[in-house]
Amino acid sequence: MQIRDLRFEISIKECSIMKLLNDNIFNNVELPNYNEIDSLKTVAFKISDKTDINYQSLVSGLMSSEVEGDTAVGAGLVITYAFSSKMDKPELFAANFSKEIGWDYPSGQNISTIIAIVLPRGYENTEFVQEIRESVRYKFAKGLFEGNTVDKWSNPNEITELVSSFVSEPDIA
């Protein structure tokens, strides 16, 4: 399955749109073992390799997001986030895997795609991050996993471009 099209947006006041760029999409990723931990480690490695962000800090951040329940899981997709002092602004990354991964939390679903939001340090307690947490848990999850949208995720042939816009970028000056 190639990542291509689903458009969704979380509105945050006075902000521009953050986009998932083609350079930040990793397709048909192979894993040593198809499980949560190896998938998050591999996504962290891919992001680290592309951005020079410390691999270990990315792994810790992505795992922490999962442990805190700040991820959305369903319809073959996981959305998670981490923080890095090397980032000037929030950036989106996506990876899809050559095989499905059994994701234990929350309901033992199989996933094939992870979307990771990497945010600059200093954003941890901002309204922006709180909005992401609430949106990922409630608004986005509800909107994505209801109705025909689920059918699009379960049929890779109907996905034409994953995530053209996701969250708004804050002005935290």
- Count each helix (H run) and each strand (E run) in the chain, helices first: 5, 9
Strand partners, 100: none
Instruction: Give Cα 53 distance to the centre of its chain.
Output: 17
Reported as a single tens digit per residue, the pLDDT across 146-165 is: 444 444 444 333 333 333 33
Domain 5-167 sits in which CATH superfamily?
Answer: Mannitol-specific EII; Chain A (3.40.930.10)
Residues contacting 118, CB < 8 A, separation 6+: 47, 51, 53, 58, 61, 81, 82, 83, 84, 87, 90, 91, 92, 93
Residue 160, pLDDT score: 30
Residue 57, pLDDT score: 94
Going by DSSP bridges, is the β-strand pair 168-169/16-17 parallel, antiparallel, or unpaired?
A: antiparallel
pTM of the model: 0.69
The 10 Å Cβ neighbour count of residue 158 is 13
Instruction: Give yes or no for a cis peptide into 106 (omega within 30° of 0).
Output: yes
Residue 148, pLDDT score: 40
How is the chain split into domains, by residue range? 5-167
User: Strand, helix or coil at 140?
Assistant: helix
In the chain, pLDDT over 70 holds for what percent of residues?
54
What beta strand segments (E) does the chain contain?
5-6, 16-17, 25-29, 72-74, 77-84, 91-103, 109-120, 161-162, 168-169
Report the alpha-carbon angle 151-94-124, nearest 5: 115
Residues contacting 135, CB < 8 A, separation 6+: 10, 167
Positions in the chain whose pLDDT score sits under 50: 1-17, 139-173
Residue 52, pLDDT score: 86
